[in-house]
Amino acid sequence: MPTAFANRSPPTVVAYDPTWPDTFEAAKSQIHRAIAPNIQTIHHVGSTSVPGLPAKPIIDILIGVNDWNNARVTVAPLERIGWEFRGQRGIPRRHYFVMRIPDGRRTHHLHMLELSSAQYTEMLAFRDHLRTHPAAATEYATLKRRLADRPEPHRGAYQQAKAPFIQRILCECRNQPR
């Protein structure tokens, strides 16, 4: 399987598209019809889930399951409706899928994680923080644009360069009183 750096093409960051929530809802409905008995939650996450935030035009979907091993039963039904199963892709106990259009570009990412996992909790916490903290969302937007505009960036370097910002926000989330 290719590494995170196999795709050397630069990331494309575009202005927020108000159709992204509807695109998510359409995918959510299709996924729900295919695998509802085997999952607990479906969330829109990632930058396309934050109103006003520029993003790569790829809808990120987070599915919560009770048991990662039992969730393997969802692979075949998701593949039948067009999702490409990619295994764990560097995150232990994650079922990862992509949806592509005919020219090969990805349009959706699906992350299936256990409800009890740190990754599941962190994806929601990061999204919620950006939705409720406009200054953090603006800072993230500036960082994303700057990274995408660098000479010869590639997706792996782009992801790595965003990591310190994401970790700082997650640290703030963990330190907030509940």
Question: CA-CA distance, 111 to 123, in Å (whole number)?
Answer: 10
**What is d(CA 84, CA 53) in angstroms, rounded to the nearest whole number?**
27
Rounded CA gap, 12 and 55, in Å?
8
pLDDT tens-digit readout, 13-59: 999 999 999 999 999 999 999 999 999 999 999 999 999 999 999 99
pLDDT tens-digit series, residues 111-170:
999 999 999 999 999 999 999 999 999 999 999 999 888 876 566 788 889 999 999 999
Strands annotated E in the chain:
41-45, 59-65, 84-87, 94-100, 106-114
Boundaries of every domain in the chain: 20-175
Query: For the chain, what is the mean pLDDT?
Result: 92
Looking at residue 148, what is its pLDDT?
Answer: 86
What is the pLDDT confidence band of residue 3, given thresholds at 50, 70 and 90? very low
Q: Does domain 20-175 have CATH number 3.30.460.10?
A: yes
